[in-house]
């Protein structure tokens, strides 16, 4: 996935302030009950753009994950609205997945390269494409766990 002019280069780590915020959100994503409770409150719509920047998402990918146009997401963000519970849950899971990817691969570039290529353990599916559903995010997280424990898929 090539970086666009609006996105940081693929090797850029998350800014320090964002890393700190995502660390807290990522822990929420690891506790099923906390995830549901936080998702019910809703996460700020602006986090969708943070996800897009971290994952180097192109517009169609961002829209597929959130099932909203970028224009709508931008409007929600400008109005300080929160995402629906389902979209908030997906966001929290994606943030948790990013944290896990950093633990497994050690750097954003390696994790993002892995996400963009067909994975043997996912029946040759491209992991990034599975982020469109909550279940798909779970499958990618399970694959990361297998890799972390020595199954180099």
Place of tokens 């090539």: 2
E strand or H helix at 96, and its extent? helix 85-105
> What number is the average pLDDT over the span 15-20?
57
**Local structure of residue 7 (DSSP, 8 states):** S
Q: Does residue 116 surpass a pLDDT of 50?
A: yes
What is the chain's mean pLDDT, rounded? 84
Nearest to residue 90, comparing CAs of 24, 53, 43? Answer: 43
Query: In the prediction, which pLDDT does 2 show?
Result: 42
2 falls within a domain: no
* pLDDT band per the 50, 70, 90 thresholds, residue 14: low
Q: Give tens-digit pLDDT for 43-95.
A: 999 999 999 999 999 999 999 999 999 999 999 999 999 999 999 999 999 99
Burial grade of 5 (CB within 10 A; 0-12, 13-18, 19 or more)? exposed
Given a contact cutoff of 8 angstroms between Cβ atoms, the answer to whether 101 and 135 are in contact is no
Number of domains in the chain: 1
50 falls within a domain: yes
65 falls within a domain: yes
11 falls within a domain: no
1 falls within a domain: no
Domain span at 83: 16-148
Least confident of 28-37, 113-122, 137-146: 28-37
> What number is the average pLDDT over the span 139-145?
95
8 falls within a domain: no
4 falls within a domain: no
3 falls within a domain: no
Burial grade of 36 (CB within 10 A; 0-12, 13-18, 19 or more)? middle
- Alpha-carbon distances, residue 90 vs 5, 6, 39, 40, 71 (angstroms): 26, 23, 8, 12, 19
Give the C-alpha separation, 125 to 152, whole Å: 15
């Amino acid at each position: 996935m090539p970086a666009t002019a609006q996105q940081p280069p693929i090797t850029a780590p998350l800014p320090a302030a964002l890393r700190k915020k995502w660390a807290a959100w990522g822990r929420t994503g690891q506790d099923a009950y906390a995830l549901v409770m936080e998702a019910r409150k809703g996460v700020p719509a602006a986090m969708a753009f943070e996800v897009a920047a971290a994952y180097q998402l192109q517009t169609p990918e961002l829209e597929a994950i959130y099932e909203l146009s970028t224009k709508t997401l931008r409007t929600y963000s400008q109005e300080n609205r929160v995402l629906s519970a389902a979209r908030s849950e997906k966001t929290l899971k994606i943030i948790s997945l990013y944290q896990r990817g950093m633990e497994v691969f050690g750097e954003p570039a390696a994790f993002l390269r892995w996400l963009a290529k067909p994975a043997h353990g996912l029946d040759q599916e491209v992991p990034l494409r599975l982020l469109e559903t909550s279940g798909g995010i779970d499958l990618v997280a399970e694959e990361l766990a297998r890799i972390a424990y020595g199954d180099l898929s």
